[in-house]
Chain A
Amino acid sequence: MTETLTLGKALNMGLRRAMEDDPKVVLMGEDIGKLGGVFRITDGLQKDFGEDRVIDTPLAESGIVGTAVGLALRGYRPVVEIQFDGFVYPAYDQIVCQVAKMHYRSKGKVRLPIVIRIPFGGGIGAVEHHSESPEAYFGHTAGLKVVSCSNPADAYWMIQQAITSDDPIIFFEPKRRYWEKGEVSTDAAPGELHRSRVVREGGDVTVLAYGPMVRTALDAATAAEEDGRSLEVIDLRTLSPLDMEPVYASVRKTGRAVVVHEAPGNLGLGSELAARITEQCFYSLEAPVLRVTGYDTPYPAARLEEEYLPDLDRVLDGVDRTFGW
């Protein structure tokens, strides 16, 4: 069956299906019960699955993740909602020191199948701490897997794949795309969780993006076409581990690559991508790998965010610059 859904509704339906499939799946977070979450991603789930499985937690993020560890030790599969990206830091210690390392510490005897959902990124005119992109912090930590969906079909399937995986997964949701619609087939998953995907084919430049920037990159590709430039857009989908083979194949074809993300450029995911592409595609490159990113400042006040965030024009500017070599 195929339905047209918003990304937010697709997540909601994916969570519902995961809870139907496995009674050990429990949702935890602030305001996720009666309210359905501040973005309504868990709308209606407490009503249907009860307070024991859709748990409104005290307002303490380290507590949410720390008790999720205990529930996982007890055999549950906790799916944690962190209300906003900027609120994950109180839980950082539990995520990095415990969730990420318990399997290693126990020589494989402990599995913590925890999913930590984080609405991330800017573009919604919010106050401070509500628009951040902290993915590099987690990608840098061994023991965590990090993914980001960019469209409703992936949202529906990736959340289910993340929940059934025994790996601890940080699941970044592009909050400004929650209301964008797309076709979702509920019959079959479009692919594996930890795979990147070419979402638009082209021959001149490879543009790498994930989460909210995939839409921006696709729009840039459409605009570039009018200028006679053909952009190949890859949705990375998995940020740790990275799935680089489709990226290498693309860059060997185009000879140029531009990485786009909202997070600051310094020590960001783009740096790692640039390094790997340089190592593996050195003789194919016509230009250095360029990064189009948020600036190396704190996330600015809402009235400035359009200047801060990469947009269609900045992506095209990056593409233009790769032809300057």
Chain B
Amino acid sequence: MTRASSKRTAPPSATAVDFVQLLTPDGERVTHPDYSVDFNPDELRGLYRDLVTVRKLDAEATALQRQGELGIWASLLGQEAAQVGSGRALREQDMAFPTYREHGVLYCRGIDPIMPLGLFRGVDQGGWDPIANKFGIYTIVIGAQTLHATGYAMGVAKDGKVGGEDGEAVIAYFGDGATSQGDVNESFIYASVYNAPIVFFCQNNQYAISEPLQRQSRVPLYQRASGFGFPGVRVDGNDVLASYAVTRAALDYARQGNGPMLIEAYTYRMGAHTTSDDPTRYRVASEVEEWQAKDPVARVRKLLEREGIGDDAFFASVDEQARKEAVALRERVLAMPDPDPTQIFDHVYPNGSPEVDEEREQFKAYHASFEGAHR
């Protein structure tokens, strides 16, 4: 590696990037030949409410971690538009496969935001029903869920649930770092050759923990799709309108039987990778400030103001409602009981195992052997 190339660590400025945009950082609408939205004022206010709420809940979770109430938290700060836009684009019958950062998508699916907190508090490892929620369990191994999503989509096709408006589509979330994983590339291949109804939604937040995009790819990520034989499109991931429009179109393209599509949502992780990370070691403040000016929430507020469909009373009520939801979330996190220790041995196998049963009994007997034991 030459000295010159190792210096190239800063991601390119978003302004230099060609992508689908429908709303500028200044809150101005722009048109695009292929994509548009037709939200009414209530729906636009609803998107703003979503963005504010998921940001507030995320901030509350970060605070809970700092206070020792969560073991770790993977913040979505900066990625609200990509998540709310794509999350609201899903139809009820669609299935989502998240990483561990899709709290905004989860919220837009109508799922109680407490659901993933047990994982981050360390009282469980997810524990929800992915099918009932139409939202997979958070996947920590980078990229692994893209294959699950592809297999699920292959099953949708086998079930004959593609080809019309009521068809089912699948969305797989992953990040820029994951595009280097074999599993993600294999999922592209499987989805392609079986024409599976899936949308690959890559939130390119510019960093895989500390490594910038240049350590993952020489080409823009959305261009990878062409080598696999399906369309790829880059969208301004800080633009909730464009994120919605592009995802909606891609999901419909998939559900109608046209096969997979890759979306690169070009965004920025404003916070740390997780609460265990220190981004000041690998990126400069000026870069963060540059992205601050492209904030996904502020631009929707500007839009509402510009179009006269949001006033101070509305913005205050949204903030107050989000604050209440955050307080409620906090109270419920604090009330989460530690699991009973014998849960170590539960649900190892659907049909059980005599070996696990034996260990559970030994464990119980060991605990019971202590004087005054009441377990």
- A residues near B (Cβ < 8 Å) are 26, 52, 57-58, 60, 62-63, 65-76, 90, 93-94, 97-98, 102-111, 113, 142-143, 145, 165-167, 240-242
Contacts and interface: CB of A to CB of B under 8 A. Distances in A.
B351 A167 contact: yes
B355 A242 contact: yes
Nearest to B172: A70
A185 to B, nearest CB: 25
User: Would you call the interface of chain A mostly helix, strand, loop, or mixed?
Assistant: mixed
5 contacts: A71-B152, A74-B154, A93-B183, A97-B144, A106-B128
Given A107-B124, A166-B350, A167-B350, A70 B150 contact: yes
Given A58-B193, A241-B355, A63 B147 contact: yes
A52 B128 contact: no
B226 interface: no
A135 to B, nearest CB: 16
User: Would you call the interface of chain B mostly helix, strand, loop, or mixed?
Assistant: helix
Given A60-B186, A60-B189, A73 B127 contact: no
A108 B153 CA distance: 23
A111 B353 contact: no
Contacts of A165: 351
A108 B347 CA distance: 5
A317 to B, nearest CB: 32
Contacts of B348: 103-104, 142-143
Contact of B154 (A71, A111, A113): A71
A110 B129 contact: yes
Interface in B140-185: 141, 144, 146-156, 158-159, 182-183
Nearest to A97: B141
B129 to A, nearest CB: 4
A104 B344 CA distance: 9
Nearest to A67: B151
B11 interface: no
Contacts of A102: 137
Nearest to A63: B186
Closest 3 A/B residue pairs (Cβ): A70-B151, A66-B147, A74-B155
Nearest to A142: B348
Contacts of B125: 104-105
A32 to B, nearest CB: 15
Interface of B: 124-132, 136-137, 141, 144, 146-156, 158-159, 182-183, 186-187, 189-190, 193, 346-351, 353-356
Contacts of B126: 105-107
B126 to A, nearest CB: 5
Given A60-B186, A63-B187, A94-B183, 18 more contacts: A58-B189, A58-B190, A63-B183, A66-B147, A70-B148, A70-B151, A71-B155, A73-B131, A93-B141, A103-B349, A106-B347, A107-B347, A109-B128, A109-B129, A143-B348, A166-B350, A167-B350, A242-B355
B150 A67 contact: yes
Contacts of B156: 74
Given A58-B193, A60-B186, A102-B137, A241 B158 contact: no
B148 A62 contact: no
A167 B190 CA distance: 25
Nearest to B138: A105
Which residue among B141, B148, B150 has the maximum number of chain A CB atoms within 10 Å of its CB? B148
Contacts of B153: 70
A67 B147 contact: yes
A91 to B, nearest CB: 10
A68 B151 contact: yes
A70 B130 contact: no
A67 B154 contact: yes
A30 B7 CA distance: 44
A170 to B, nearest CB: 13
A105 B116 CA distance: 12
